[in-house]
Amino acid sequence: MPDDPDALSFRVTTANLSGAIQILLERGGLAEYPEVYPALVLERSRRELQSPPKEIRLTRQAFDGLPHDVQQLLLAPPVR
């Protein structure tokens, strides 16, 4: 996907990931965001099982359809 101009990838903190999931859940979850919501929930589940964080990959179209506050959480730089 790195060479695909229609794809985006994000490194997201666990706190921001959980925040984005909560916002999407309140706004319709899977029914409203069928591409994004499961991807975020899957990554959170992986982390809960102590797997190392992975990049989250989305199509540009799916990202553009997200609420602005969720976009901001996904774009926030990781705290070092």
Q: What is the pLDDT of residues 12-67, one digit of tens each?
A: 999 999 999 999 999 999 999 999 999 999 999 999 999 999 999 999 999 999 99
Would you state the pLDDT for residue 62? 96
What token pair was written down for 38? 């499961």
Does any domain span residue 1?
no
CA distance 49 to 69: 27
Let me know if residue 39 belongs to a domain.
Answer: yes
- Residue 65 is assigned to a structural domain of this protein: yes
Does 60 map to a domain? yes
Considering the domain boundaries, does residue 33 fall inside one?
yes
| 1 pLDDT above the threshold of 50 | no
Report pLDDT for 2.
52
- CB distance 75 to 10 below 8 Å: yes
Residue showing tokens 């964080």:
53
Domain that holds residue 51: 7-75
Number of domains in the chain: 1
Per the domain annotation, does 67 fall within a domain?
yes
DSSP conformation letters of 31-75 = HH-TTHHHHHHHHHHHHHTTPPP--EEEEHHHHHTS-HHHHHHHH
What confidence score (pLDDT) does residue 27 get? 97
